Amino acid sequence: QERGYDMLDRSNELAAWDRDHFFHPSTHMGGHARGETPTRVVAGGEGVYITDTTGRKSLDAFAGLYCVNVGYGRQKIADAIAEQAKNLAYYHAYVGHGTEASITLSKMIIDRAPTGMSRVYFGLSGSDANETNIKLIWYYNNILGRPEKKKIISRWRGYHGSGVMTGSLTGLALFHNAFDLPRAPVLHTEAPYYFRRPDRSMSEEQFSQYCADKLEEMIIAEGPETIAAFIGEPILGTGGIVPPPKSYWQKIQTVLDKYDILLVADEVVTGFGRLGTMFGSDHYDMKPDVITIAKGLTSAYAPLSGTIVSNKIWQVLVQGSDQLGAIGHGWTYSAHPICAAAGIANLELIDELGIVENAGTTGAYFRSELEKAVSGHRNVGEVRGDGLMAAVEFVDDKDDRTFFDAGRKIGPQVASALLERGVIGRAMPQGDILGFAPPLCLTREEADIVVKAAADAIETVFKNI
């Protein structure tokens, strides 16, 4: 009891410091500083639950930011980090240096990657890995003697990070507004958003063809000799958890092959099991030249990302250093041994626990229960997803699929109501969409808790609307 009071005082003190000193990412700055958005001081985690300093426990059905794939509190990863920190906290990876952890992890990644992949370059975040991708692609085309082939096409609603280049690749207005983004040479094409297709009579296949045709029109208008690469998440994540319509990736690939354009699969969310396969590229039968990995690589126990390059790319990079010398690209913390140790323990755990398979089976169960529970509601336009990713999109009018006025913040209201019921979902940044991406170790019982809370939250919010 006494400790409870201590913790409450401590929470208040931390909240005050937080409002005064902490510049939070993706946060309404004024609202936070004025105390309008409450500070939540998260103190612990076990399995799929987190607890805060007030003792409140929540089922985290978004796995942090879809990254804590093996769940919280895994002793094995904590031990691996501690052991590595004691033995060798750091050494760099420049000029051929490595550590047992970083070298072992590179082999483990390539062993699990789709066929044709050759090497992994390590970074720390999804954003920096995507920055690396674009630099390597530019370098690749320079070495091949086609310096004009540099433009990158991404998609509206894509999310690829928030650096200068990666924020440009991201196709969400919030990440562009007042930042002078996107910067050339980035172009955005149609999102494969079947629910919002231009003509409702289109089948999934027809809509996929429509997206591929739009891409081809853009390539022709710009000049195919100027387009270097197309980047996409296997399933759109932050843009609204939107799975590709049938044969989308095959139709896109046909266009890319026709104009000799590289494919970058941004697997920051889907890598290491989220869709019930080790990689989303395998799940949708994509043929990427470059793959971005991050979050699930360590289940966020330590920051680590990677750029996986195919044999085709690697051969040209080798040619490049034979011509130009050592590659002029590197971070101090590339292949940080503590992060690599976390990655090894995490990948071992993924195998030991069989959570890739669980993401497929429990994911299918979760999505079907969610659909049964909420799709009949008059303000639910669509329930969609794949593997352990799901979204509920809210509409003002079910038949016309009209949006609510953004100022009404319907998505955030539902997310708050859900939190009051002990479950964390995410109000996706564009549109009124409630997203779920729980840890991949989720059980059916835990899935039932999420579904019940979601149905209840939706019922309550819309009763007052």
Closest CB to ligand PLP among 187 and 265? Answer: 265
Closest CB to ligand PLP among 127 and 253? Answer: 127
Closest CB to ligand PLP among 151 and 160? Answer: 160
Which residue in the shown chain puts its C-beta closest to ligand PLP?
126
Size of the site for ligand PLP (CB under 6 A): 15
Q: Which stretch binds ligand PLP (CB under 6 A): 240-248, 261-269, 363-371, 381-389?
A: 261-269
Specify the DSSP class assigned to residue 118. Answer: E
Closest CB to ligand PLP among 161 and 381? Answer: 161
Closest CB to ligand PLP among 189 and 238? Answer: 238
Residue with tokens 């503590």: 338
Question: Rule CB under 6 A: is residue 65 a binding residue for ligand PLP?
Answer: yes
CA dihedral sign of residues 173, 175, 176, 177: positive
Closest CB 289 distance from ligand PLP, rounded Å: 17
Among residue numbers 155 through 174, which ones bind ligand PLP (CB under 6 A)? 159-161
Rounded Cα–Cα distance for residues 313 and 30 (Å) = 46
Residue 116 is inside which H or E element, if any? none
| H-type alpha helices, 279-389 | 280-283, 311-324, 337-353, 355-374
Closest CB 244 distance from ligand PLP, rounded Å: 14
Rounded Cα–Cα distance for residues 123 and 107 (Å) = 16
Pick the closest to residue 312 from 289, 282, 291, 292 (CA basis).
Answer: 289
Closest CB to ligand PLP among 125 and 208? Answer: 125
**Contacting ligand PLP (CB under 6 A), which of 238, 247, 346, 379?**
238
Q: Which stretch binds ligand PLP (CB under 6 A): 29-37, 82-90, 124-132, 386-394?
A: 124-132
Closest CB 445 distance from ligand PLP, rounded Å: 28
| Site map (CB under 6 A) of ligand PLP, residues 423-442, x = contact | --------------------
Write out the two tokens for 30.
């004024």
Give the residues across from 187 on adjacent strands: 153
Closest CB 345 distance from ligand PLP, rounded Å: 20
Measure CA 452 to chain center: 26
Q: Cα–Cα distances in Å, from 258 out to 79, 134, 225?
A: 50, 21, 12
The one-letter amino acid code at 421 reads R
**Contacting ligand PLP (CB under 6 A), which of 64, 126, 234, 276?**
126
Closest CB 5 distance from ligand PLP, rounded Å: 37
**Contacting ligand PLP (CB under 6 A), which of 60, 190, 216, 266?**
266
Specify the DSSP class assigned to residue 402. Answer: B
Closest CB to ligand PLP among 280 and 363? Answer: 280
**Contacting ligand PLP (CB under 6 A), which of 294, 313, 355, 450?**
294
Closest CB to ligand PLP among 268 and 335? Answer: 268
Closest CB 352 distance from ligand PLP, rounded Å: 26
Rounded Cα–Cα distance for residues 392 and 331 (Å) = 39
Closest CB to ligand PLP among 129 and 395? Answer: 129
Rounded Cα–Cα distance for residues 73 and 60 (Å) = 13
Rounded Cα–Cα distance for residues 66 and 366 (Å) = 16
Rounded Cα–Cα distance for residues 4 and 460 (Å) = 31
Write out the two tokens for 424.
């964390």
Q: Which stretch binds ligand PLP (CB under 6 A): 174-182, 232-240, 257-265, 306-314?
A: 232-240
Closest CB to ligand PLP among 70 and 458? Answer: 70
Pick the closest to residue 16 from 2, 37, 35 (CA basis).
Answer: 35
Contact call for residues 405 and 411 (beta carbons, < 8 A): no
Pick the closest to residue 190 from 151, 153, 223, 240 (CA basis).
Answer: 153
Instruction: Give the residues lining the site for ligand PLP (CB under 6 A).
Output: 65, 125-127, 130, 159-161, 233, 237-238, 266, 268-269, 294
